[in-house]
Structure 1
């Protein structure tokens, strides 16, 4: 199952992220993993920021480009936001204890997931972001039953 949306501006992108966040909250999102793919500057971190705000984070959301990961305490769940763009070798993830980040009490957003291939869990959702005209084109692909339930809520305007 896929959702395809054209967002003419950042407000429309933010609303898409908030819809996904509302669905996450309704279903419970512990243990989930989302991959974000797109060119440099396509809006992966901006989408992540909006999703984190939708999930209740009230502070700033900084890009984890230089730290590789930023944690966000969202009550019962810790959301880990990874940016693997600067990763030279996937084995670097082993040194940082990557497997410890993925459990039922956490969720993750992973930018540039191809850089961690073989060491990351399978995604529940793959979000592809592309430049299109003055806006962005989003394709959200469900890779799990959880994601399909999220997408149903979004399409039925229940999220």
Structure 2
């Protein structure tokens, strides 16, 4: 039995984590799966980022839920990693799934808290042409996807 290799937050060893650049690289090197994390913006958009705050991986400060998608995507999500990635933005889940539409591996989506409702998640996933998408939580209540 072969061990599956997942790209955690994309190919974060050589690209800024949870960015389109990281996911593109993970697909290019043919990882068996890609793990990513999602949160909701103030205007209920599903975005891809590990932390609840933008402080560590962008040039902004504050919680994701305090930003609209438009404001969040004005932040620089790549310079903390390298100046070569200063144009990287915080992607939406829809953008990531579109980028990975031809990717044949597993996409593992982690819902970050049990306190957040993810009303847009079902719609984003139903429009995805991705072959396999897995949603992981330590304790999942179906109401978080469809309140």
Q: TM-score, normalised by structure 2?
A: 0.30
Using CA pairs under 8 Å that are at least 6 residues apart, name the structure with larger relative contact order, 1 or 2.
Answer: 1
Structure number having the greater helix percentage:
1
TM-score of the superposed pair, with normalisation by structure 1: 0.29
